[in-house]
């Protein structure tokens, strides 16, 4: 790599690191205060950066929200891709619920999930971004579910794939909310519910 190219790569890496710091701080502020109450000043305090410097990376608060949606889409697609090599969805859901319950910052936060969905009812730009993210991740999940069906010797219709994917999304998103409302949910109850539903929804019911 020549000197100019190396310098350019380092500048880009530093810029991306700054963007990531801002996004992490913004997420904490949105979770604590909500989108409307959280200000750019709050985010600047959380990331220990001037408001002016934040504006070098993000035009406004909406652009930060859109970047968070984009980053979460990437994480979601990576998680779905991992199912191709580690298809134990039951274990993944149980682990995910535990992380939600303990506020693990490495996974989508249920409070932030609800905040974004609520904001989408007021902001067409955010609504469009979330709809597009759902479409892309949904296509990935449908493809994985079809592969899971074929591995069981099944040939489901597209309608069958869509119905089962929708049910699985309802379960997972419902558990995200349940982790807030019932954080002491008995693990055995969760496991029993998944044992009842997942074989049917992932074509492992014979």
Domain ranges of the chain: 1-58, 66-201
Position 133 confidence tier, pLDDT thresholds 50, 70, 90: very high
pLDDT digits (tens, 9 = 90+) for 61-94: 999 999 999 999 999 999 999 998 888 999 999 9
CA dist 53 and 178 (Å) reads 38
pLDDT at 9 over 80: no
The pLDDT assigned to 103 comes to 87
Position 167 confidence tier, pLDDT thresholds 50, 70, 90: very high
pLDDT digits (tens, 9 = 90+) for 141-166: 999 999 999 999 999 999 999 999 99
The pLDDT assigned to 136 comes to 97
The pLDDT assigned to 14 comes to 87
Match domain 1-58 to its CATH number in 2.160.20.60, 1.10.8.590, 3.40.50.300, 1.10.10.60. 1.10.10.60
Mean pLDDT for all residues in the chain:
91
């Amino acid at each position: 790599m020549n000197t100019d190219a190396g310098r350019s790569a380092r500048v880009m890496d530093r810029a991306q690191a700054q963007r990531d710091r801002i996004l992490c701080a913004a997420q904490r502020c949105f979770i604590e205060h909500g989108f409307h109450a959280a200000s750019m000043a709050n985010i600047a305090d959380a990331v220990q950066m001037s408001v002016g410097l934040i504006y070098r990376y993000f035009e406004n608060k909406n652009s930060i929200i859109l970047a968070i949606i984009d980053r979460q889409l990437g994480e979601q697609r990576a998680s779905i891709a991992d199912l191709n090599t580690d298809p134990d969805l039951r274990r993944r859901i149980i682990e995910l619920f535990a992380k939600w319950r303990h506020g693990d910052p490495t996974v989508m936060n249920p409070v932030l999930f609800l905040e974004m969905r609520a904001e989408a009812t007021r902001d067409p730009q955010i609504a469009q971004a979330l709809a597009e993210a759902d479409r892309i991740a949904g296509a990935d999940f449908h493809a994985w579910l079809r592969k899971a069906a074929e591995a069981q010797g099944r040939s489901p219709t597209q309608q069958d794939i869509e119905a089962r994917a929708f049910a699985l999304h309802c379960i997972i998103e419902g558990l995200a909310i349940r982790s807030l409302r019932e954080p002491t949910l008995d693990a055995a109850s969760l496991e029993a519910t998944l044992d009842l539903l997942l074989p049917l929804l992932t074509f492992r019911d014979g």
